[in-house]
Structure formats: structure tokens, C-alpha cells
Amino acid sequence: MDGILFGGASPALTTINKTCKSLSPFSHPLSRNHFTFNTGTNKYYSLRISPHKVESSRGKSRDDVAFRGDAAYEAERLGLDAEARQSMAEASEREAADATNPRAWKWTIRKRVWDAMEANNVARFPRPVHHRIPNFVGASAAANKLSELDVFRASKCVKVNPDSPQKQVRLLTLEGGKTLLTPQPRLRTGFFSIVELHMLTPSTLNEACTSVGVAKYGRPIGLDEKIKVDLIVIGSVAVDPNTGARLGKGEGFAELEYGMLRYMGAIDDSTPVVTSVHDQQLVDDIPVEKLLIHDVPVDIICTPTQVIFTRTQIPKPQGIYWDKLSPEKLGQIRVLRELKRKIEQETGQKLPSGSSEKLPPTCQRRR
């Protein structure tokens, strides 16, 4: 199947509907290798990948063209992301049912928020929003409020998460002439990439705000890069405006990204952390005393209707907490393995590791 997915010489590479040349996030994973896509005009197209052929359909008409490697990678990525969410759903059910699990209460709050967003129809594509940083009605309005903050206006380099509801924040960052620092989703294909306006054209600006576009147009950086990040924008599932306590979707990548930036010296305790969420993601029952040492609090919350300064008193993480990092997670993220090896070589001491865990699948870019 590699020939199809990553640009090999399979004859299947010659067939796909021309309207799928620039794929948006899928609407429904029908199976591991069968997806439907929304082209942005409320028209849906089908893509089926098999070891021998790629089939696409659009009602009664069809126009076959060369299948692009980027599109194939994106299709496989979306399929594996669907598997990842299913795996997270199963893990969340196990943990929520275990009263002794220190993370059980987090899943209770997450599920309540996800359910409410769907029930009240404030969720936006991709749906359902469960086990995602949820996209929401008014995400652009929240992003616009964020862009009016003094800390944003004064920033030269802004780190923004790669999720759908923060796409407008990434666009406003670039349009404002600022350096955009963004990670690859789940750190699956590397570390962070830097994107700047001079690297783009008007026709590639919007694509550069997507995860595929960042990989395509951005400049990858390593842990030895000398940068200063002036502002961190982070996605959330739930956030408490009274304390600044925040819950993500449960995989811990935002915390890892924050810890690595601390290690690099790119941020410190004074670096503002901002999140953009829907008003229905505001909660008042996150128990601060139950937060873990690596949980990242937020200083400012932007919703479509308001800006909240939390004045959080929750300590920010000071780096990477290796004793919280499972061997499986470490094995999944190359940059962390390299950093661990470097630190152990320099200190002559073996770093601790966390408990074992079952991880969801990821998609590796092989080209």
C-alpha cells in the first residue's frame, strides 16, 4: 500500500477525482481506507484506497487525474486520526470507570462539554467533536478578539496549536507579519515548524495555516534553535475562568510542547498562555488541587463574546517531566528520544520514565 500512499509506482496513482486535489478534513471515516470529503462547497466526494486502486466518485460524473502524494498522505492521516480518537474513546471509558484513576474526573468534564456542544449545535466541522480540540461556532470571532489583545499585538513570535478552531489565529499571526511557530499534530512528523509571511504567496497563505501546509511551506526547527516565543496560543476542551485551569483532549501533547519550549529557553513563567474557546466550554468545577504538575494553566481566555483575564495562580510547568512520560510515548516521538539521549550522555545519568500505556495509532510521513 505504500506505493499508493506515499507516491510510489502503483498504477492506482493515476485515478482520483480532480475535485479532491486539495482535500479538506474528512466528514466521515467510512472505514480505514474509505473516506468522504467536503470540498468547502457543501459537496461531498468519496475516496477509497485499496492495495490495487484508488477510486473516487462524485455522483454520476467522474474525471480522473494524477493522485497527489500530499492528498494520499492526508487521506491516510485522517483515517489514522479516526482510529486514534476511537482508541482515546475506549481509554476514556476505562479511566472514567476506575474511581482510583487520578484522571477519571477529567474525562467526566470533557464528556459533559463535548456532549453539550453537540446537543446545542455550537460544534463545527469536523464533527463529532468528541476526543478533539472542538471546533465551534464563532471560532473566528474569538480569534479576532485574541488578535486585539495587547500581548498579541506586541508579539513577534507566536506559538499556536495546529487544531481547527485556531486556524484563524494562525492566519492572523501570519497576516500580522509575525513568526508563526506551530507543531506537527501529535508531533508525528517532527517537532515545530516556523512559518513567516515572506515564505508564502497570497495563493499559499491559507494552506500554510493547515497542518499539511505547515509541513509543506514551513521551516522545521530542532531543540537547539535559538528562538524567543512571546505568546502561546493553546487549544482547550474545558477551561475555568476563575482559576485558569485547563483541560485538553487528553493526549498530553500541549504539555509536552510547552515542556520542550521551556527546555529550549524559548519561554518562561512570564510568557502569556491564551486559549480560544466557545462560551459553553467555560466550566467552574476543575479541581485545582487535582491537577498534575505538567498541566498548563491559561492566563487569558478569548470567546466569541468576551475576553477573560484569569490571573491564574496555578504554577506553570518548568520543563519535561520524564517520570510522567511513558516508554510508548517516548518511542512515538523522535525528538524526545533524541533529547533524552542527549541529556543522559551529558549528565551520565539515566532519566526516569513513566508507566506503560496503550497509545493510539499515528501516521508517519515517509517522504
Is the preceding peptide bond at 272 cis, omega within 30 degrees of 0? no
CB atoms within 10 A of CB 208: 25
Half-sphere exposure of 334 (CA within 13 A, CB side): 10
pLDDT at 211: 83
pLDDT at 235: 98
pLDDT at 189: 54
CA gap 50, 318 in Å, rounded: 46
Q: Which structural domain range is residue 237 located in?
A: 73-309
Q: Is residue 350 part of a domain?
A: no
Nearest in space to 287 (alpha carbons), one of 242, 354, 234 = 242
The residues pairing with 182 across neighbouring beta strands, listed in sequence order, are 193
Q: Is residue 9 part of a domain?
A: no
CA gap 234, 159 in Å, rounded: 8
pLDDT at 208: 96
3-state DSSP assignment of residue 147: helix
3-state DSSP assignment of residue 206: coil
Find out whether 37 and 23 touch, Cβ atoms under 8 Å.
Answer: yes
Q: Is residue 67 part of a domain?
A: no
CA 223 to chain centre: 19
Is the preceding peptide bond at 128 cis, omega within 30 degrees of 0? yes
Rounding to the nearest 10 degrees, give the CA dihedral for residues 163, 361, 44, 55: 140
Task: Report CA-CA distances (Å) from 238 to 52, 53, 131, 161, 249.
Answer: 44, 43, 12, 16, 9
CA gap 206, 22 in Å, rounded: 12
Q: For the chain, first and last CA: distance in Å? A: 14
Q: Grid coordinates in use for 228?
A: 524567543
Q: Is residue 242 part of a domain?
A: yes
CB atoms within 10 A of CB 147: 18
Nearest in space to 234 (alpha carbons), one of 197, 285, 181 = 181
pLDDT at 148: 98
Q: Grid coordinates in use for 352?
A: 526516569
What's the Rg (C-alpha) of the chain? 21
Q: Convert 231-243 to b/e letters by CB count within 10 Å (16 or more is b).
A: bbbbbbbbbbbeb
pLDDT at 358: 72
Q: Is residue 19 part of a domain?
A: no
CA gap 258, 281 in Å, rounded: 22
Task: Report CA-CA distances (Å) from 221 to 153, 227, 295.
Answer: 24, 10, 24
What CATH number should be reported for the domain holding residue 211? Answer: 3.40.50.10420
CA 276 to chain centre: 14
CA gap 118, 28 in Å, rounded: 16
Q: Is residue 27 part of a domain?
A: no
Q: Is residue 288 part of a domain?
A: yes
Domain count, the chain: 1
CA gap 157, 180 in Å, rounded: 6
CA angle (173 as vertex; 169, 178 as ends), nearest 5: 160
CB atoms within 10 A of CB 30: 15
Tens digits of pLDDT across the chain (367 residues):
333 232 333 333 333 333 333 333 333 444 334 444 443 344 434 444 433 333 433 433 323 333 345 666 566 656 666 666 666 666 666 666 666 776 789 999 999 999 999 999 999 999 999 999 999 999 999 999 999 999 999 999 999 999 999 999 999 999 999 999 998 766 655 689 999 999 999 999 999 999 889 889 999 998 889 999 999 999 999 999 999 999 999 888 899 999 999 999 999 999 999 999 999 999 999 999 999 999 999 999 999 999 999 999 999 999 999 999 999 888 888 889 989 999 999 999 999 999 888 765 554 444 3
Q: Grid coordinates in use for 169?
A: 489565529
pLDDT at 26: 37
Q: Is residue 63 part of a domain?
A: no
The pTM (predicted TM-score) of the whole model is 0.76
